[in-house]
Amino acid sequence: MIVRRQSGFTLIEIAIVLVIVGLLLGGVLKGQELITSARVRNLISAQDGVKAAFFGFQDRFRGLPGDYLLARQNINGVGTACGTSGNGNGNGQIESTESVLAWEHLSKAGFITGSYTCAATESQNTTPFNPYNVTLQLIFDGNYGTGTPAARHNLKTGAQIPVEIIAEVDRKVDDGRPYSGSFQFSPYAGNGTAPTAANCVNSTATPPEWNTTSGQANCGGAVIF
């Protein structure tokens, strides 16, 4: 009688396969971690750059970008499409169309890279965009946090940012909480879809926290000056 041996994997072969699978999974996870870290650094760098430009402009011209009353007289290349013929109204607040004009003032004065020209419709030519293709906003308002916060000058990150990214930005630059500190949740939509607090924030926690387990892909924040 002929006895046929059943072929199969040995324990050593199975162990080798498991090690290879583990290495592959580890590489994928590490790669994703590196991508996340790069996006977080990109957002923080953009915020820091605009903040530095905002205060640098204020120091040089004794006025605010977008609101500056003598922009056309003192900044070469400022057009006449927005504000009061390219100037702000000088009331000390970046309001309405001044929020778009602010980017022209900052870029033409050399405080930010690129060249922006104010227009009625926002585009890549008028306004910086975040890495998720949504406009930033530099403005005086209370469209951040929860309830009815006092209006302050702030920089909106733009929408379409995954909640885990926005939460990590908050942890690195502030207190990691969406409704307190100098970095808070914002429903600003820009040219995208407005984020909702119900999707981005876990309000049942005490204190409320970013809802990083939701997988929400449309969140945003505001850096309060």
pLDDT by residue (tens digit) across 4-51? 555 666 777 677 777 777 666 666 554 566 667 888 999 999 999 999
Share above pLDDT 70 across residues of the chain, in percent, rounded to a whole number: 89
Task: Assess whether pLDDT exceeds 70 at residue 79.
Answer: yes
Q: What is the 8-class DSSP label of residue 224?
A: E
Q: What is the 8-class DSSP label of residue 97?
A: T
- In angstroms, the CA 224 to CA 174 distance is 11
Comparing C-alpha atoms, which of 153, 151, 149, 118 is closest to residue 139?
153
Rg (CA), the chain: 24
Phi, psi values for residue 74, rounded to 5°: -115, -10
- What is the identity of the amino acid at 195? P
Mean pLDDT on 203-210: 96
SS3 state at 221: strand
Most confident of 39-43, 118-122, 197-201: 197-201
pLDDT of 6 reads 56
Is cis: bond before 178, omega within 30 of 0?
Answer: no
- In angstroms, the CA 186 to CA 195 distance is 7
> In sequence order, what are the residues at sequence separation of 6 or more whose Cβ sits closer than 8 angstroms to the Cβ of residue 173?
44, 47, 182, 183, 223
Q: Is the dihedral of CA 123, 127, 132, 137 positive or negative?
A: negative
The torsion defined by the Cα of 120, 124, 128 and 131, in degrees rounded to 10, comes to 140
SS3 state at 142: coil
Mean pLDDT on 93-110: 96
- In angstroms, the CA 173 to CA 27 distance is 28
Mean pLDDT on 97-117: 96
DSSP characters for 178-209? Answer: TTSTTEEE----TTSPPP-HHHHEETTSSS-E
SS3 state at 156: strand
- In angstroms, the CA 96 to CA 190 distance is 13
